[in-house]
Chains A and B, each alone.
Chain A
C-alpha cells in the first residue's frame, strides 16, 4: 500500500516540477504583458468600451470606460503612473441610474483633473451624460463619489426633462474637455444642433452661436468635439461630418466664445476630432479625420484666427500654417490589413507615447482585419516628426483579436508616468485595453512591459 502511494507521490511531484518549469515561461511573458485588458464589471453589459475618458491629477491617472449611448453604467479604473494598472474597476457607479435617478451615457465622455462643483472644486471628475442627480442636467461624478449636475441651455434642459418625464428615448449629449488641470467642458446636442461649453472652474455655461444667417442643419452636428488648450484660451471645435465641416470657436477664459471659422474641403471632414500637442509647441493642436485621411492643424494658428461672421465654410487645412498630415490608413505589420474598409479615423487621440514632449496621433480603424479576424480593429500611430510620411509608424492591436471586436471605436491617451499610453475600446465584444508599448519608445525607456 505504501509503495504505490510513494510512487504516485513521486510521480506527481516530478510531473508538477517539470510542468512548473514549462508553465513559468508563459507566466514570464504574460506577467507584464504590453497590453492590459481592463476587467469588465458584471454589471456593465451594454457596449463596454463604446466611450472612454481619462483624467490625471496628483500622480493619479484614471480611465473611465463607458457603455452604449443612452444606457447606464461606466466603470472607473486606476492605472497609476507606472506600468502596473489596476485592471479591476474602482468605481462602477458612474451614470449608474442608482436610486431611481435616471442617467443617460453620452457617446463622448470627458474627464477633468479638476472640476468645479456647485460649491467646491473636485478632482478627477467625469462628465458622463445627462440625467438627474441633484437636479436634471449634465451628470458629473468625481473620484470622491460626489455627483452633481450642470445646467444646460434651456432647449437641452427641456428636451432632457421631457425625455425623463415622458420616458422617451433619450438623446445623445456628446462631451469633451481639454487635458489641462482646469479643463473647459464642451457639450452638444446634435438633435437640436445645439452646443455650449463650461469655462474652466465654472459651472456657468456659455452658448456657442453661429454667425447670423449660417445654417448648419445636419444630424452629424456635434457628434465630434474637441477642446484645444492654447496659450491665452481655448479653441472649441465641433464637427459636422455630414457637411464635411468643422466649426471653430475660441474662448479666452470666460463664458463667451467667438466663432472663428469653418474648416472644410475634405469629404467627411470632422468624423472625429481630437486635441493634443502634436507639434513641438506647448499648444494643443486639432486632429481631424475625414473619410480617408487624418490631419493635425496647429492649435496656435487656429487661436490666431479672428472672429468672423462669414457663413461660408471656406477655411481649408492647407490654408493654415503648421498643418500636419495628411495621414492615411496603412499598416506596419502583416497581421493587420483591410484599410479599404477599415473605418479609418473613427476615433482619434493624441498622446506622447514615446515621452519626447510632443504627441503622436492615434487613429482608430475599428474595421481592420487582424490575423484574419475581420473587424477586429487596430490602432494606427502617426508621428508628426516623421517628415512627409503618411503611413503609420506603429500599429497596435490586441493579441486576442476576434471578429467584430472593433478595437479603436474609442481612444484616449492617459498619462502613465513620463509618457502617455493608449487606452482603446473594443465595444464589439465589450473590451477595453491599455497599450503600454510602441515602437516609438526608445529602447530601455519603455519599462518592464515593453521589449
Chain B
C-alpha cells in the first residue's frame, strides 16, 4: 500500500504483519466519592477490559449509545485519558510501542502519528485564534519546521480539505465560518502532521444532513490519498456503514460484537446489536419495521456485578448468563466475534 507523506516522496510499504493498533484488556475506571481525605469506594467502569485490533487501511467504527464507553475509548487511544490498566500498542514510525505506558517526555513521536477529530465544530476551535493558528498548532507545539514552512503546510492542508483559496481562510476566525467549514478546519488540524492513525469522535453528528455527507466523503478520500486509518466513533449505524470496513459494538464498557461492517449489519448475532439495528428508523415510509424487542435505558456501569452486562434488557437472558461473568468475545464466523453465551443458537 502506497503511503505518501508530506515530504512528497512516494513510500511503498508492505502491509505489515502487525496491526497498526492493538488494544488488550483496556480498562478505565472513574472513581466516585473521592475526596481529599478518603479513597474512592465505587467506580464507574467506563471501559472494562476491551480488546481489538485495527489493521492499517481498515477503518474501524466504534458504535454504541451514550454511556457505552466509546468516547472514553477514543480518548484513551489518544492519551487524553490515562488507562487504569491494559495495553495499547501502536506502530509509530515502524516500531511497535506501548502507548499506555509512555511518559510525558516520550509523547512527541506519538503526537506526530496519532491525532483526533472532535465532535463539536463550534467548541473544538479556540474562538480567539485564527484558523492559521489553530491548524498550525500541532506543528508549532511540536517544533516542526520554521514559520515559512508551516505557512506552506497549513495552506496545503486547507486546500486539501476544500477550504480554498487558503489565504482567504487562514486569517479568519471560527465565528466567521459555517459548521461544515469549521469541521473541515478540525480535520485539517488533525491531518497537518501527517498522522497514520486518527480517532474521529462523532465528527458529523452536529452537522446538517447535506453537509454531513460532504465531510464523510472528504474523510474517506483523505483516508485513501493520505494513508490515514480511522477509528470512527458514532452512535449512528448508517454513518458507520459508510465510513468503516469493520464494526465494533459497545455496551456499558464492553465490546459485545465485532466483525466486518457489512457482515455485522446483515447478520447481527448479539441481541443488543439486533435491537440496535431494528431500532434505527428507515427513510422509507413503505417499510414497516418490526419492534425492537427491548426496553429501558442504559444505567451507568457503576460497580457492575460479575455477570453479563446486558442481562436486564436481554430478551434471551437465561441462567447461564446470570451465573457466569460477562462473556468473552468468541469467533462465531470468520472475522466475526460475539460476546454472548447464547449467540451460537442464533447463527
Same complex for A and B? Answer no
| Residues of chain B whose beta carbon lies under 8 Å from any beta carbon of chain A | none
